[in-house]
Amino acid sequence: MILNPHLLEPGFLYPSQGSRSPFMQTYTPDETIADFDEKEGSWHSAGSGGSAGQGFVTYLNHIRVGFAIKPERKAAFPKALSEDLTKQLLRSGATITSSENPGEGRFVFRYVCGHTQGSVAVEPLKHDSGYHGPNYKGKEWVMAQVNIDEKWFKSAADQPR
């Protein structure tokens, strides 16, 4: 990305590859989803972006995946995805500062990694009847959604506590 120096605001930090955390750069739910996917077709949608800020840069990454699952395996999916998220956060060098599991398959992890503070939220599986209806060959179409939000600060000392 090339930025026009005449458009830069003094004191603002701008998105760059070096200010995205290793977790955001590498995270994917694909391995966990593959363990539950009944191979009846699937779809994957992702959107990401970054924005400048005074003293920080904000990044967002939203991932949605639709797939077929056996109804009796739906209850096990959130736990499996949570365990995989934990492994990927720790492998990327992040420290998990808190985790919430308010129920119904939703959970949130907050973490720090170097100059980054972030959160990753997994939404409950939602019905996705866009393919074959609610029950196709004894399988259910669902959508998994993961949202990652991060703030990168110029120095760890600049991070709010």
According to the model, what pLDDT value does residue 81 have?
Answer: 94
pLDDT of the residue at 4: 46
CA angle 83, 58, 120 (to 5 degrees): 15
Residue 4 inside a domain? The answer is no
SS3 for 112? strand
Residue 27, domain member (yes or no): yes
Helix residue ranges per DSSP H, 60-142? 77-91
pLDDT score, position 13: 84
When pLDDT is cut at 50, 70 and 90, the band that residue 113 belongs to is very high
Asked if residue 33 belongs to a domain, the reply is: yes
Higher pLDDT among residues 137 and 84, named by residue: 84
Q: What is the total count of domains within the chain?
A: 1
* Residue 6 included in any domain: no
Contacts of 150 (CB under 8 A, 6+ apart): 20, 21, 24, 58, 59, 60, 116, 117, 118, 119
Which are the contacts of 80, defined by CB distance < 8 A and separation ≥ 6? Answer: 32, 35, 36
Is pLDDT above 70 for 7? no
73 pLDDT more than 70: yes
User: Is residue 47's pLDDT more than 60?
Assistant: yes
Task: Confirm if 145 and 43 have CB atoms less than 8 A apart.
Answer: no
| 67 is a domain residue | yes
Q: Work out whether strand 12-13 and strand 106-113 pair parallel, antiparallel, or are unpaired.
A: unpaired
Both structure tokens of 85? 């998220």
In a domain, 30, yes or no: yes
| Cα dist from 75 to 81, 91, 97, 120, 124, whole Å | 11, 26, 26, 20, 10
Average pLDDT on 58-85 reads: 93
Asked if residue 124 belongs to a domain, the reply is yes
Domain of 152 in residue numbering reads as: 12-158
> Which range has the worst mean pLDDT, 90-99, 111-120, 131-140?
131-140
